[in-house]
Amino acid sequence: MPSIVNLSWLSPIFAQASERLNLGELAGGATVWLAVTGLSRSGKTVFITSLIHNLLSSAHNPNRMPLLGVVGERRLIAATVEGAGANRLPRFPYLSNIEKMAIPDWPARTADISEIGIEVRFAPAGTLGKLLSGITGSPASLTIRIVDYPGEWLLDLPLLAQSYAEWSRATLRSLRKGVRAEIARDFLGFIAQHRADEAASEEVAKQAHDRYCAYLLEARDRHGLSFLQPGRFLCRGTLGEVPYLWFAPLEIAEGIDTFASHTLGALMAERFEVYKREQVARFYQDHFRQYSRQIVLVDVLRALLAGRDAFDDTRLALDAMLESFRYGHGGILSKLLLGPHIDKVLFAATKADHVPDIQRDHLAALLRNMAAFPALEVRSSNAQLDVTALASVISTAEDTQEIDGQRLQVVVGRPVGSKTQSKFFVGNIPIRPPRADAWGSPFLNVPVFEPPAIDPSPVEGIAHINLDLALEFLLGDRLQ
Amino acid sequence: MTFGLAGVAALFVGWLAVDAVGWIAAAFERSTALGVLAATAVTAGVAGAGAVIARELGSLFRLRSVEAIHRQLADQRALPTDARKAIGAVLAVVPREREIDAGIEAFQRQVQLHHATAQQIEILSRTVMKPLDRRAEAHVRTAVVRAFGITAISPTSLTDAVFFLACGVRMVRAIAAAYGHRPTAATTIHLLRRLVFEAGKLGAVDIASASLVQHLGGAVTERLATSAADALYAAYRMARLGIIVMDLCRPIPFRENEVPSVTSLVGNVLRRRSDALVPSN
């Protein structure tokens, strides 16, 4: 006899609910997705490497991470890197990174996406946790899942909300201001000779694309700019030279959003939409839906020293990047209906070891000022927020030097490739951005100090500043 | 007031000195050997009194300097360098035993130059203060059990009060010793004065809690002896006083989640009492 009530619609809902609530976690340990967010060269890869190495070492040497509650209270049993299993993404190269740092040298710039999971097993602190642990006979566990990707790709996320015409107009507006106008002169000159309504030409599109990429590279590498789209033009990963990448912004008048067929504008717009669909939307769907905690790494010092244009650019890039994340603090019903949201965000000013101890609070205060608007957005969604200065690896020591008759605090370290130590005086870090007339000349040669002697075996850990505090804020409640 | 007390002390010392000189002179008049003996006895007495006074003053001075450190570290605005110096002074006064030495070693390995004051205190709490707190809590539990037991069997309110006071003084001295203070008369009196002041601040709260406990005791008396309600209240008060004394003697202030809970300190007493009443057959 056929069923009176059709319940076939129920199982997909249960499947979706199970996925949203992570019901599978109840069976065997919890999982938390930690979003390690930051622009290019902000220190994401080194942060992840140092986090893994110090967690693995904590069982042998709890003195490295005393302010991470589970370690300081001696409840940590062990931390291990999860097996590769059948993951779709390449594995984060933790071992090769740590071996590189032992040379000593820094890991190569991140060129593609990768993923890693760290399983932390610990004795619970709370009564309920102890009871469950007693019943199951096994300690509590938490798996921290992290995805590493080139920071440039984050700037692609705002493209999802723009059409090709909107993006072109916005990009060319910014290209005509400040230092960008000088850098993009060749590209601007080229597109001035080619209209959006002219006949489509593969060669013209490719040349525009190549000139635009040259501008992006120079803007990033020689001028320290950050708000550069599309991100994959700077870092293709395994994408290679696919035709849908060969587009660039064109001069498009206000009010025009569509193009006649077989025009240059139509070709560019089609490629733009395919790029968004194939790369950006997929990247977002696959990797951004599950995050519940986030650390935003910002190289404030480099942005400050690179001058006003670079500093404002970093701030703009930060605002644009963070708009793509979902913040909020909700219970089971909220998770069921809306999916996971990020409920704790930590803004971290990286490379805090490049400034003396007495200036580190200024670094954090400056970041707090830079991130004021995104922070409002986070707080209004009821997520928790904090700001700190952090160094994933301490590569300097503090010293004093006499400069202009005054004894000042400096940091000293060995620049990569150099045989001798050198001192670095960063000056006074302001707690808010300098006034327009107070900016000095851009200084882009922030020294890259080589990492300290690191034991690749996870026994001693790596000296850091506030890495344990950062983890305690982000994950401390999940490690109770 | 201090000037008046100094005057009385000067009178007393002068009187004793004159008496002693007279006594030595009289002894010398009778014989030289007797005189030497008298002089030696007076010298020994003066030296002994001096040693006792020095010990008392030294321990009191040490306690007061630890209290000053406590106040300094309670101020969250203390600079990290000042906090480091203050913590160094704390480590100099805590008892030196194997467990504490291990804690000190762990602290020295964990604390780094970049740690702020609050972070240094957190690390110190977890490494050095934890074993000291455990010992102090053990003394509080002992006093709680004594207060419960003595009050339960004590025949009159006066004996209740006398035994409670004796128990309390003993607890104060034990907790002070646990944290590295010398439990001399001077330090004990100083701590008792501060305890009375701090406990008095809690007076209004105590009245309310006393009523609550007495009502609960009223319900429980259907099963237990009437005196058990008073005994439970005495145990509760002793536990409260113990926590205050711990805070007074502790070189660094308690952090929010570190204050021992009265329930856990008194809970043992209830368990023992219930076990004692269940018939064993």
> Do both A168 and A133 map to the same domain?
no
- Which residues on chain B are in Cβ contact (under 8 Å) with A352? 114
The distance of A442 to chain B (nearest Cα, Å) reads 29
Which residues in chain A have Cβ-Cβ distances shorter than 8 Å to B113?
A: 357, 398
Count of domains observed in chain A: 3
Is the pLDDT at B74 greater than 50? The verdict is yes
* Lowest mean per-residue pLDDT among A1-5, A177-181, A186-190, A210-214: A1-5
Same domain, residue pair A425 and A470: no
One domain for residues A380 and A407: no
Q: Number of helices (H) and strands (E), helices first, in chain B? A: 11, 0
- Are B123 and A66 in contact (CB < 8 Å)? yes
Residue A443 lies in a domain: no
Residue A197 structure tokens: 């309504």
Q: In what order do the strands lie in the sheet with A76-81?
A: A76-81, A114-122, A140-148, A30-38, A291-298, A344-349, A384-389
- Residue A444 domain-assigned (yes or no): no
Phi-psi region of B278 (alpha: psi -120 to 50; beta: other; left: phi over 0): beta
Sign of CA dihedral A181, A182, A183, A188: positive
Does residue A1 carry a pLDDT above 90?
no
User: Within a domain: residue A137?
Assistant: yes
Residues A414 and A373 in one domain: no
Contacts of B80 in chain A (CB under 8 A): 357
Q: Which residues of B touch A360 (CB under 8 A)?
A: 114
The reply to whether A228 and A162 lie within a common domain is yes
Q: How far apart are CA A403 and CA A400, in angstroms?
A: 9
**A402: containing domain:** 397-438
In our burial notation (b when 16+ CB lie closer than 10 A, e otherwise), range A48-64 reads bbbbbbbbbbbbeebbb
The size of chain A, in residues, is: 480
Over residues B9-16, mean pLDDT: 86
| pLDDT score recorded for residue A9 | 59
Quick one: pLDDT band at residue B215, thresholds 50, 70, 90?
low
Residues in contact with A177: Cβ distance below 8 Å, sequence separation at least 6, in sequence order: none
Based on the domain organization, do A144 and A163 belong to the same domain? no
The predicted structure's pLDDT at residue A44: 94
The string of pLDDT tens digits covering residues A360-397 is 889 999 999 988 888 888 888 888 999 999 999 999 99
Domain match, A348 and A470 both = yes
Closest chain B CA to residue A390: B114
A27 and A141 inside one domain: yes
What's the DSSP call for residue B145?
H
Of A284, A301, A326, which residue is a domain's last? A284
User: Which chain B positions have a beta carbon within 8 Å of A357's beta carbon?
Assistant: 80, 113-114
Query: What does the pLDDT look like over B75-109, one tens digit per residue?
Result: 767 788 888 898 998 898 888 889 999 999 999 99
Q: What is the pLDDT of residue B206?
A: 53
* ω into A442 cis (within 30 of 0): no
Mean pLDDT within A229-257: 90
The amino acid at A197: D
Pairwise CB contact (< 8 Å): A72 & B123: yes
Which tens digits make up the pLDDT trace of A389-434?
999 999 999 888 887 888 888 888 988 888 888 888 878 888 888 8
Q: What percent of chain A has pLDDT over 70?
A: 91
Range list of β-strands (E), A404-444: 406-413, 422-424
What's the farthest any 2 CA atoms get from each other in chain B?
80
Contact A418, A105 (CB under 8 A): no
Predicted confidence band of residue B278 (pLDDT cuts 50, 70, 90) = very low
Maximal C-alpha separation, chain A: 98
Mean pLDDT, to the nearest integer, of A232-259?
Answer: 89
Classify residue A445: in a domain, yes or no.
no
Q: Is residue B281 scored above 50 in pLDDT?
A: no
Residue A327 in contact with residue A377, Cβ under 8 Å?
yes
Whether residue A3 lies inside any domain: the answer is: no
Collect all residues with Cβ–Cβ distance below 8 Å to A248 and sequence separation of at least 6. Answer: A187, A191, A205, A208, A209, A211, A212, A268
pLDDT in tens, A156-166: 999 999 999 99
Task: Establish if A380 belongs to a structural domain.
Answer: yes
Mean pLDDT of all residues in B152-172: 82
The total number of residues shown for chain B amounts to 281
Is B259's pLDDT higher than 80? yes
At residue A17 the predicted structure's pLDDT band, cuts being 50, 70 and 90, is low
Token pair belonging to B269: 């007493």
Cα–Cα distance, A11 to B145 (Å, whole number)? 60
Select the residue from A357, A360, A363, A393 to test the B interface by mutation, using most B Cβ atoms within 10 A: A357
Is residue A60 predicted with pLDDT exceeding 90?
yes
Query: Minimum mean pLDDT among A174-183, A244-253, A386-395, B229-238: which range?
Result: B229-238
Domain-embedded: residue A64:
yes
Q: Tell me, yes or no, whether A208 and A127 share the same domain.
A: no
Q: What does the alpha-carbon distance between residue A26 and residue A143 come to, in Å, rounded to a whole number?
A: 13
Query: Is there a single domain that holds both residue A349 and residue A418?
Result: no
Q: Picking from A59-73, A140-154, B28-42, B199-213, which range would have the lowest pLDDT averaged per residue?
A: B199-213
Residues A67 and A199 in one domain: no
Q: Which of B110, B111, B122, B123 to mutate to test the interface with A (most CBs of A within 10 A)?
A: B110
Last residue in a domain, options A284, A300, A320: A284
Is residue A46 located within the same domain as residue A162?
no
Chain segment A326-362, per-residue pLDDT in tens: 888 766 665 556 667 888 999 999 999 999 888 888 9
Which ipTM did the prediction report? 0.77
Q: How high is the pLDDT of residue A13? A: 56
Note whether A66 contacts B110, CB cutoff 8 Å: yes
Q: Do A357 and B109 touch (CB under 8 A)?
A: no
Provide CB contacts within 8 A for A391, sequence distance 6+. A350, A351, A352, A353, A354, A464, A465, A466, A467
Structure confidence at residue A400 (pLDDT): 84
Predicted confidence (pLDDT) per residue in A89-110, tens digit: 889 999 999 999 998 889 988 8
Interface of B to A at Cβ within 8 Å reads 80, 106, 109-114, 119, 122-123, 126
Q: Which candidate from A66, A72, A465 shows the least CB-CB separation from B114?
A: A465
Let me know if residue A447 belongs to a domain: no
- What is the percentage of chain B residues whose pLDDT exceeds 70? 84
Cα torsion angle, A351, A357, A361, A363, sign: negative
- Residues forming a β-bridge with A408: A401
Of A284, A308, A329, the domain-final residue: A284
